[in-house]
Amino acid sequence: MRNFRAYPSNTKGFTLVEIMLVVIIIAALSAMVVPRLAGRSDQAKRSVARSDIDTNIATGLKLYEMDNGNFPTTSQGLKALRVKPTGSPEARNWNGPYLEKDPVDPWGSTYMYVSPGRNNPDYDLYSIGKDPESESDDITNWE
């Protein structure tokens, strides 16, 4: 009788010890990398908000002002960059939309806009940040 084996004797594979060693190495690397990346999410959101305020929305506002001779009023708001505003002052040369999407900060709140500004002559633009109750995390176009 032949000796019957479930697997041929020339089959090669990993032993349980080798597999466990690889899992332990991956876990050790993860334990070193994950804590370093944990605080980066909020930092990335702040960078996106800063970029929106200083560049993206600011460019839309400047284009609107070039076309119409003035910035949107506080009552017209940032919506004037997406849809032609009604009311005074009339946007006679509106050539928008000046933004591709509604200006919402990384925390899901709309950006705050005041024109004329209290801190800048043309307009104030800011995000209330992660905590709406605290001003310490606000991101503004003045400072």
Q: What is the pLDDT of residues 18-75, one digit of tens each?
A: 888 888 888 888 777 776 666 677 888 888 999 999 999 999 999 999 999 999 999 9
Share of the chain above pLDDT 70, in %: 89
pTM, two decimals, is 0.70
Distance CA 63, CA 109 (A): 24
Which domains, ranges and CATH numbers included, belong to the chain? 42-140 (3.30.700.10)
Residue 3's pLDDT band (cuts 50, 70, 90): low
Q: Are 105 and 56 within 8 A, CB to CB?
A: no
Phi, psi of 114 (to 5 degrees): -135, 125
> CA-CA distances (angstroms) from residue 104 to 23, 73, 95, 101, 132?
42, 19, 22, 8, 14
Strand 139-140 vs strand 112-114: parallel, antiparallel, or unpaired? unpaired
